[in-house]
Amino acid sequence: MEKNLFWLEQQDNKSTSGRRSEYATDYQCMLKEPHGEKSEQSKLIITMHEKLNQYNKALIQISILHQLKAPDRFDLHDLQSFLEGENMAPEHMTGIDADIWGKTGDADNHPPDIVCVHPRDIPDKFSHVVSERAIYLFKYGMGVFTKGDHHLGRKVYYDTTVVKITLWVTSMVAAMLPIASILVLIQLESLKAKLWTIAAFNVGMSFCLTFFANAKRAEVFAVTSAFAAVLVVFVSTDRGNPST
């Protein structure tokens, strides 16, 4: 279409009929054709506008699709088990789309472009691990504390409950870690041992920030540096006061 437009521009520029030679310098002249007819160049430009509009819409759709996340392995396995379980009996899916989500025996054998429209909102790695493992605790006794769902007719376990529990655990760890480091440091006499202990607690702090809080690298660096500075100040103060 671009080549055709270039050819029409050359033909109109060379033409001596009407005002076709002015199309290149006067767009309004090209639009105002006699007898209400549109020039070939104008028709082609309109067609190109429609094509570009379709192309732009396709780009927007692709951009939105790329923002969608792939389904979690645990959720995908749960869906595979549901499709192959008694809930789908006696007539399981038998069409050509039966294997789109994969099989429990070959969970990774599915199209690579599967996306999740509304994935679970798991705030950190700790909550993610607990949410996948907690279902086994409910199966082996803790399920007595859950209520059934009249739509599903079975016990239902929600991630929101797990996230609340992990929030409590994370809060307790965050509150105890600074106190625990000080309790350990006051038991040590050697400066070298204290410095190594500070380094160990710094590693533990960075791990907790990454695992429990899903912190970014800059946040991990800032918090661990501040934590180390506080402990160093405590050690220097403690050395200046032997009676402490």
141 and 56 in a single domain? The answer is no
* Structural domain for 23, as ranges: 2-67
Same domain, 61 and 75: no
The pLDDT assigned to 29 comes to: 66
List, for residues 125-146, the tens digit of each pLDDT value.
Answer: 888 788 777 766 666 555 545 5
- Same domain for 147 and 229? yes
How many residues belong to the chain?
Answer: 244
Q: pLDDT digit string (tens) for 81-112?
A: 777 777 676 666 777 777 787 777 777 778 78
- The secondary structure of residue 106, as a DSSP letter, is B
Q: Does 211 lie in the same domain as 159? A: yes
Q: In the numeric block, which tokens belong to residue 213? A: 């809080």
Task: Tell me which amino acid residue 236 is.
Answer: S
Residue 71: count other Cβ atoms within 10 Å of its Cβ.
Answer: 19
In this structure, the answer to whether residues 25 and 130 fall within a common structural domain is: no
pTM tops 0.85? no
pLDDT digits 0-9 by tens, 5-17: 777 777 766 666 6
The DSSP string of 55-104 is HHHHHHHHHHHHHSBPPPHHHHHHHHHHHHSGGG-SS---STTTTTT-BT
Judgement on whether residues 104 and 127 belong to the same structural domain of the protein? no
- How many domains is the chain partitioned into structurally? 3
Question: Do 147 and 112 have their domain in common?
Answer: no
φ, ψ (nearest 5 deg) of residue 77 = -65, -35
Does residue 167 share a domain with residue 50?
A: no
Q: 122 with 154: CB under 8 angstroms?
A: no
Question: Are 86 and 102 in a shared domain?
Answer: yes
Identify whether residues 28 and 108 lie together within a single domain. no
DSSP one-letter code for 155: E
Instruction: Give, in degrees to the nearest 5, the angle at Cα 42 between 37 and 46.
Output: 115
* Segments in the chain below pLDDT 70: 12-39, 87, 89-92, 135-158, 238-244
Check: CB of residue 208 under 8 Å from CB of residue 194: no
Same domain, 61 and 76: no
Q: How far is CA 98 from CA 89, 95, 115, 118, 148, in A?
A: 14, 5, 17, 22, 30
Same domain, 89 and 155: no
